[in-house]
Amino acid sequence: MVLDAELRDRGAFLDVRSPFTGEVIGEVPRDGPAEAAAAAAAVRPGKGTLAPEERAALLRAAAEALAQRREEFAVGITREAGVCLKESRREVERACGNLLVAAEEATRINGEALPVGTGGSRKLALTVREPVGVVCAITPFNRPLNQVVVKLAPALAAGNAVVLKPSEKAPLSGIAFVQLLLETGLPPGLVAIVTGEPTEVGPALVQSPEVDMVAFTGSVETGEAVARAAAPRKLLLELGGNDPLIVLDDVDLPLAARLAADGALATAGQSCRGVKRIIVCDDVADELVPLLVALAAEKRSGDPLDPETDVGPLIDQAAAELVQRRVEDAVAAGAELLLGGGRKGAFVPPTVLDRVPPDAELVRRETLGPVAPVIRVRDEDEAVAVSNSTVYGLQAGVVTGSFERFLRVAHRLEVGAVNYMESPSFDSPHIPFGGVKRSGLGREGIRYAIEEMTSVKTITVPRPWP
């Protein structure tokens, strides 16, 4: 059910504003703890009600309907999140792909048959995966459609029910997607939506006795608070990253510069797996940095609905102010500002800094903005040490002409994934996604998320053969 008027009184609303114009483009109910608890109690797990093939058919139907409405959804993402239209279109395609993979995986949730025997007793142990029950999915403002899909698609594929809390800053795409699910055949009672301020509805959701699992994407601090509040429920946490692109001294410099510029500036830098630190060996830094500056200078800022725009606004002015302050602090600590700097409203221009101290807040913490900070290091060993020096460990990219060297560095990096001759941004619905250290707990990626969103039951029966 979606925003069911019978569940709650809609006396208060939250405005949803365009990050580009500041105008109100929609409103959603400002739910409170009572409404959150009612929504969690209203959904019912789908165990036994939908066969795997039926779940697969529903997800395929949703993918087809979303593809038919791709431009409508892309424009909606851009309007509420400020993401450039060219990137919003890619986000819709990614969401369609995730739905199709989830449809495939819905029919591949398998167990094992294990012959066991102790004390002369011969048994056959059968393991089966069952849905955990009700999944509370809490999603952020960046990727407001796909972040919802990567939680709902595996949850539904596994037979769970979901109560969704989309970001209050960009909730409209997620709501529209759930409405699309219902229009394409999802039975009522498998999904509910809660909208409102996180501090008002979050605790009631994650502590609800009806909720069996919490799947959360957001900041480290909020995620750790969610984990404490949700205990002992099952958790799937994606808590962001401080992802490095490591450029060693035996590289294709134009490729490295392109990876650095595209990875740092895409989505206005508001991606958990975007390039947050460019760690470059001294021997090639003087050649790489001018190439990076030139590529960043070519990026067009402006109206995100213009198909030619490369960098749109940040989600709001407060986010831009934070990025501006961190850039200024890095310059005060010795970094060289080579391009950009400053801000106008929610806009931060493409910004490149060189010789950034590794302990500057700009690169020590996750900074969501269109900033390409270069950290110079002596050699491979220092590159690894600097990369590992933060509390985050999500993804990394390594650019080197030696595959053996790449494998050596990859083994030493404290991250969930390392990409060869590629930025940290690479993703696929077929591979696991998640971090180590304070970057999260568990793995997304459709098949891996299904494993997280199911529990293993063991059944033993007599085994009449040896």
- Residues with a known catalytic role: 238, 272
Look-up of token digits 């060993």: 381
| Cβ–Cβ < 8 Å for 265, 310 | yes
Largest pairwise CA distance in the chain: 77
Radius of gyration from C-alpha coordinates of the chain: 23
Look-up of token digits 């985050």: 392
